[in-house]
Amino acid sequence: MITKEVEISGLSGKRNIAIVMNAATFTDATEIDYFITNISSSIVTPQWIVDTYSQRNWVEVFYREAKGWLGLKEYQVREKRSLIRHFILVFCAYTFILWHQMTGGLRRRWANIPLNTFTEAIDAFRTAMSFRFFDWLTFNRDVFAAYKASLGFIWA
């Protein structure tokens, strides 16, 4: 592995590039990976690159779970503001679920069975949220109707 600080046209500032190969020379290598970062050269070391890249899997896990279970890609909005709100709701739900998994809260409060997988946790979360919304709606029907009316809808 080698790192080099370079300037790239079209990008402001300097970047650090790392070239990782599975052999000593380009001609012998069968796999060559290129990494680029805008992190300072004083921080970028071969060990930093290995540590940072090894954590990348968790980002991929997040996107797979957010897309598959929380509907990150299932938005049906046309405005940027609505899209951002959708993303915020998905990220909050994901954070909420992980927090409950790490603290054991899902076992104590959201289900009467252990919730060991993300799928089990999201099912419990959806059930709890729909119950709480329905419970709130039964006592605040006029508030919900007024809100929908302010948007031009009729709640009947």
In a domain, 68, yes or no: yes
Domain check: are 23 and 66 in the same one? no
Q: How much is the average pLDDT of 70-74?
A: 81
User: Which carries the bigger pLDDT value, residue 56 or residue 109?
Assistant: 56
Q: How much is the average pLDDT of 49-67?
A: 81
- CA separation for the pair 55, 37 (Å, rounded): 15
Is the pLDDT reported for residue 107 higher than 70? no
| Confidence (pLDDT) at 7 | 87
Domain check: are 108 and 31 in the same one? no
Domain check: are 35 and 68 in the same one? no
**Domain extent at residue 77:** 59-150
Is the pLDDT reported for residue 73 higher than 80? yes
Residues 6+ apart with CB under 8 A from 70: 90, 93, 94, 122
Domain check: are 74 and 140 in the same one? yes
Q: For a pLDDT cut of 70, what percent of the chain falls above it? A: 90
Final residue before a domain boundary, out of 54, 74, 93 = 54
Instruction: List pLDDT tens digits, range 23-38.
Output: 888 889 898 888 888 8
In a domain, 156, yes or no: no
Domain check: are 138 and 72 in the same one? yes
Counting every residue, how long is the chain?
156
In total, how many domains does the chain have?
2
Domain check: are 74 and 109 in the same one? yes
- CA separation for the pair 145, 151 (Å, rounded): 10
In a domain, 65, yes or no: yes
In a domain, 140, yes or no: yes
pTM for this structure? 0.45
Q: What is the DSSP string of 102-154?
A: HHTHIIIII-SS---SHHHHHHHHHHHHHHHHHHHHHH-HHHHHHHHHHTT--
**What is the edge-to-edge ordering of all strands in the sheet holding 32-37?**
2-7, 14-21, 32-37
Is the pLDDT reported for residue 116 higher than 80? no
Final residue before a domain boundary, out of 11, 27, 54 = 54
